[in-house]
Amino acid sequence: MPDQTVPEQTGKFDELQNRLKAHQQEHVLQFWDEISESQRKQLATQIDELDLVQLDALIAGQDAKQDFAAMAQVADPPPSVDAEGSGANWTTTEARLRGEQAIRDGQVGAVIVAGGQGTRLGFPQPKGMFPIGPVSNRTLFQFFADRLIAIQQAYSVKIPLFVMTSEATDDETRAYFQEHNYLGLSPNDVVIFKQGTMPAVDAESGKLLLAEKDSLALSPDGHGGTVAALQRSGCLQEARERGVRQLAYIQVDNPLAHLCDPTLLGHHLMAESEMTTQVIRKRYATERVGNVVSIDGKVHIIEYSDLPESAAEATDEEGQLRLWAGNIAVHIIDVDFLQRVSDSSDALPFHRALKKVPYLAPSGRLDNPAQPNATKFERFIFDLLPQAKNAFVVEVLPCQGFAPVKNADGAATDTPSLARRAISELHQAWIESSGGVVGSGVQVEINPRFAMNSGELSNKISPKIRVETDRYFDTPIRMH
Ligand code: UTP
């Protein structure tokens, strides 16, 4: 039974209606009389949190749109160091030593963003809880926790971990960390914080969509929401208080991501860069990764969908792709820089995506559109790059650092099966470089607490090792 309307609620209704009317969005109150007091409160809170002026501008397309075709015409390859170490005025060893020192000095924190809805993967829980270990079945979250534990032990240091969730993933992620003893990490060093949301609007009319009678159709505000959420949640402040000067950022869906990689950190510090991004050399011109380019001395990313084919296919005098650098979303971000940009609310532009969003029709019936019907607004973290001084790019080989888990098995690319295979093949290569042999079709997996790279592994296994059945090389977790 809906509550009886009392004067206080009438007051709230009038106030909301007046506000919404000024932006032609009052239809979202259509079911007010049919919902309970707590449901009204929820809807009212969602409306209170909307920035209707900003939304008007986004719907009208008034925010500056970038002309990517024009940008592509003047785009050059970015300042970078390649996987062999060429391109910088320092050696890879110098970079590694510098990065190791920064880690040892406690100047590095880790950020994992895990707020996405993972719609393409179709896994019912947050993506971080997806089992990805080819032999161990460890989850994505456990992969990164193990890596952080290994690094903390190697450098005798505490590294705070900031995990970004969203409305869609927060409760389950918190419960998962609690129920699994923070995956071996110290609970004092793990902070889970929630990103903001943005409403979806009808693609044609710009009207806000209702997901239910008491709820707008809301979704996470993109991985660029990290900037505002780090600030709002107090995480940025906490990082500063702990002496953290650089944040190592990764996305939860790449199990090969080099979280807190000393060499990457070192290149970033040697280049005096405010933001450094790790890239792969694109394997073909139209590969579906963002193109990291340099325009007028600033580093930008042009999405594959925005890059004209002629620019994507252009080659240099050696026949190599001119715009070669593909974004894999592994960044090192200077904390002072992050503070500077978070102080300005419009630091990052919004991108629009046309998506299928189920919505409540005026009749009250849930409509599941067969075609994209809605515009969603998202911010992207890489839009920080043009604002960063001395932004720098570091190449990693895809087989060593990139195995994204985006699509369900059966798709041609970026599936869990392909990621598991990539992990096993990389670890097999490490075993073989120590002199060992892995039987054909045998899966291997090395926990970073056992060895973080082939050099470490060669000190731990016999060069005569023969691995004939699936094997997981592990070290028990020493609990905090
Ligand atoms: P994707 O853009 O690939 O989105 O996110 P997704 O949610 O994982 O998958 P789809 O598109 O719905 O199928 C890349 C990374 O950024 C994080 C995701 O959790 C993933 O680690 N992300 C994305 C956020 O943390 N918040 C967002 O709003 C969007």
Residues 128 and 420: their CA atoms lie apart, in Å, by: 15
Better pLDDT: 479 or 104 = 104
Average pLDDT of 433-437? 97
Q: Atom 10 in ligand 1: which residue has the minimum CA distance?
A: 118
pLDDT of residue 425: 98
- pLDDT over 90, % of the chain: 91
| Burial class of residue 262 in the structure, from the number of CB atoms within 10 Å of its CB (0-12 exposed, 13-18 middle, 19+ buried) | buried
Q: How far is the CA of 70 from the centre of ligand 1 (A)?
A: 28
Residues 436 and 462: their CA atoms lie apart, in Å, by: 7
Q: How far is the CA of 104 from the centre of ligand 1 (A)?
A: 31
As given in the structure block, the two tokens for residue 424 are 């096993």
Average pLDDT of 21-30? 97
- 1: confidence class by pLDDT, cuts 50, 70, 90: very low
Q: Which atom of ligand 1 is nearest to the CA of 164?
A: 25
**pLDDT at residue 260 greater than cutoff 90:** yes
Q: Atom 25 in ligand 1: which residue has the minimum CA distance?
A: 115
Q: How far is the CA of 118 from the centre of ligand 1 (A)?
A: 6
Better pLDDT: 63 or 183 = 183
Domains and CATH numbers, the chain: 7-49 (no CATH), 68-404 (3.90.550.10), 407-480 (no CATH)
Q: What is the mean pLDDT of the chain?
A: 95
Ligand 1 binding pocket, CB closer than 6 Å: 113-120, 127, 164, 166, 195, 220-223, 225, 251-253, 406
- 456: nearest Cα among 423, 430, 419: 430
**Sequence letter at residue 445:** E
**pLDDT at residue 85 greater than cutoff 70:** yes
Q: What is the pLDDT of residues 92-107, one digit of tens each?
A: 999 999 999 999 999 9
Query: Do the beta carbons of residue 172 and residue 129 sit within 8 Å?
Result: yes
Q: Atom 1 in ligand 1: which residue has the minimum CA distance?
A: 116
**pLDDT at residue 64 greater than cutoff 70:** no
Q: How far is the CA of 404 from the centre of ligand 1 (A)?
A: 11
Q: How far is the CA of 455 from the centre of ligand 1 (A)?
A: 33
Q: How far is the CA of 160 from the centre of ligand 1 (A)?
A: 22
**pLDDT at residue 86 greater than cutoff 50:** yes
Q: What is the pLDDT of residues 360-415, one digit of tens each?
A: 999 999 999 999 999 999 999 999 999 999 999 999 999 999 999 999 999 999 99
Q: Atom 5 in ligand 1: which residue has the minimum CA distance?
A: 116
Q: Atom 27 in ligand 1: which residue has the minimum CA distance?
A: 222
Cα distance between the two ends of the chain: 51
Best of 111, 112, 113, 166 to mutate for ligand 1, by most ligand atoms within 8 A of CB? 113
Query: Do the beta carbons of residue 319 and residue 285 sit within 8 Å?
Result: no
Q: What is the pLDDT of residues 131-156, one digit of tens each?
A: 999 999 999 999 999 999 999 999 99
Q: Atom 3 in ligand 1: which residue has the minimum CA distance?
A: 406
Average pLDDT of 289-313? 95
Q: Which atom of ligand 1 is nearest to the CA of 115?
A: 25
Query: Do the beta carbons of residue 254 and residue 112 sit within 8 Å?
Result: no
